[in-house]
């Protein structure tokens, strides 16, 4: 969602000159988004980042709202929670700001969670909230996370509605498993509201389960970025405002990221287009079974080493360009 908000900020800076409107939008964003009070582990537990490294790493977390329709307060305060992140992405923006690289991490990846031994990676949220999720990712890649963003999945529904629908290319026919039983035929689909939400949530209809769900999430986000940067949106301030107004309540950021931070980043990335956004999934060694009988996804140790090295040296763009990712 930081990718999407940065795209919105680019649109505003490039097209609108009405300072009052921009201030109103920024105020709406800051007022309606939530702050993760403690997003990071203690500094002595974190990798050291080269002060000359101008790249940025964001951890993006997708979560379900609590039973009362709001995000659990303990998630925002940094404590443990019964929530697990159903979607986890590492977003890298190189120092030259030429492109955005978003890597999905499978939620059932079997890995070391500091202080708890080996578990599925999404259990880190349940054990220690956002700080432990950050520490787990930083430990895996030996790379520091600069910012954290969390989105309630209902935000996808609101985003699609604010845009008047998001058009995706669907490759596999399926039906949703909720009471609505939405049908998703192969081909070009315009998704809006609950139908968009089910598109990014479903996994049971697919032979490869979570793998296809991750692909669908990537498809939706990429399509939403294209829609945000389309001519229709560029020339329609009301649509841009609607996106921020409706989606912001479902977004939470670390306390170092606000509308000013997003606008500053957008100024550096004013040439951003959908084609500059690369999305892929962290390579794995397939599925397996944990010692206690759980179905898990196995780490690809070489890929993790290579990605960590590329992130630390700000050569991630080269790594992505020279790697063939399975789909």
Domains held by the chain: number: 1
Asked whether residue 326 is domain-assigned, the answer is no
* Residue 156 reports pLDDT greater than 60: yes
| 48 DSSP assignment | P
When mean pLDDT is compared over 78-82, 126-130, 137-141, 217-221, the highest value belongs to 137-141
Reported as a pLDDT band with limits 50, 70 and 90, residue 11 is low
- Taking the C-alpha atoms of residue 143 and residue 306, their distance in angstroms, rounded to an integer, is 12
Q: What value does the CA radius of gyration of the chain take, rounded to a whole number of Å?
A: 19
- pTM of the entire predicted model: 0.88
Residue with tokens 């950021």: 253
pLDDT at 65: 65
- Taking the C-alpha atoms of residue 129 and residue 238, their distance in angstroms, rounded to an integer, is 36
Q: Could you count the other beta carbons within 10 Å of the beta carbon of residue 96?
A: 11
**What tokens appear for 174 in the block?**
């399926």
Mean pLDDT, the chain, rounded, equals 85
Asked whether residue 181 is domain-assigned, the answer is yes
| 97 DSSP assignment | -
Residue-wise pLDDT for 20-46, tens only, equals 556 777 788 889 989 998 999 999 999
Q: Phi first, then psi: what are they for 32, rounded to 5°?
A: -95, -25
Asked whether residue 118 is domain-assigned, the answer is yes
In which domain, by residue range, is 235 found? 2-315
pLDDT at 159: 86
Asked whether residue 327 is domain-assigned, the answer is no
pLDDT at 70: 43
* Residue 131 reports pLDDT greater than 90: yes
Residues 245, 33, 66, CA angle at the centre, nearest 5°? 105
* Residue 130 reports pLDDT greater than 60: yes
Asked whether residue 110 is domain-assigned, the answer is yes
Q: Which residues contact 252 (CB under 8 A, 6 or more apart)?
A: 33, 34, 35, 36, 71, 75, 76, 149, 150, 151
pLDDT at 18: 42
Asked whether residue 296 is domain-assigned, the answer is yes
CATH number at residue 48: 3.40.630.190
Residue-wise pLDDT for 200-248, tens only, equals 999 999 999 889 999 998 899 888 888 877 767 766 778 878 888 888 8
Residue-wise pLDDT for 106-123, tens only, equals 999 999 999 999 999 999
Helix axes 19-32 and 259-268, enclosed angle (nearest 10): 130
Asked whether residue 42 is domain-assigned, the answer is yes
Asked whether residue 324 is domain-assigned, the answer is no
């Amino acid at each position: 969602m930081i990718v999407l908000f940065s795209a919105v900020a680019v649109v505003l800076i490039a097209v609108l000159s009405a300072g009052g409107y921009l201030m109103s939008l920024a105020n709406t964003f800051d007022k309606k988004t939530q702050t993760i009070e403690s997003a990071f582990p203690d500094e002595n537990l974190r990798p050291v980042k080269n002060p000359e490294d101008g790249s940025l790493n964001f951890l993006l977390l997708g979560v379900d709202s609590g039973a009362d329709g709001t995000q659990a307060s303990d998630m925002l305060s940094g404590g443990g929670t019964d929530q697990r992140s159903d979607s986890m992405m590492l977003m890298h923006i190189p120092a030259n700001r030429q492109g955005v690289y978003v890597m999905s991490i499978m939620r059932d990846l079997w890995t070391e969670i500091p202080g708890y031994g080996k578990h599925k990676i999404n259990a880190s949220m349940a054990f220690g909230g956002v700080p432990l999720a950050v520490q787990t990712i930083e430990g895996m890649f030996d790379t520091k996370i600069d910012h954290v963003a969390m989105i309630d999945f209902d935000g996808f529904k609101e985003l699609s509605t604010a845009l008047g629908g998001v058009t995706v290319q669907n490759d596999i026919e399926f039906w949703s498993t909720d009471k609505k039983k939405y049908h998703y035929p192969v081909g070009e689909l315009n998704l809006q509201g609950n139908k968009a939400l089910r598109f990014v949530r479903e996994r049971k209809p697919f032979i490869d389960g979570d793998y296809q769900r991750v692909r669908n999430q990537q498809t939706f986000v990429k399509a939403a970025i294209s829609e945000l940067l389309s001519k229709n949106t560029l020339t329609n301030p009301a649509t841009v405002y609607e996106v921020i107004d409706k989606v912001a309540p479902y977004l939470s950021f670390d306390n170092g990221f606000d509308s000013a931070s997003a606008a500053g980043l957008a100024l550096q990335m004013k040439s951003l287009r959908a084609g500059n956004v690369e999305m892929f999934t962290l390579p794995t060694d397939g599925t397996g079974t944990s010692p206690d009988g759980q179905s898990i996804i196995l780490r690809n140790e070489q890929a993790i080493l290579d990605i960590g090295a590329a992130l630390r040296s700000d050569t991630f763009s080269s790594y992505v360009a020279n790697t063939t990712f399975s789909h």
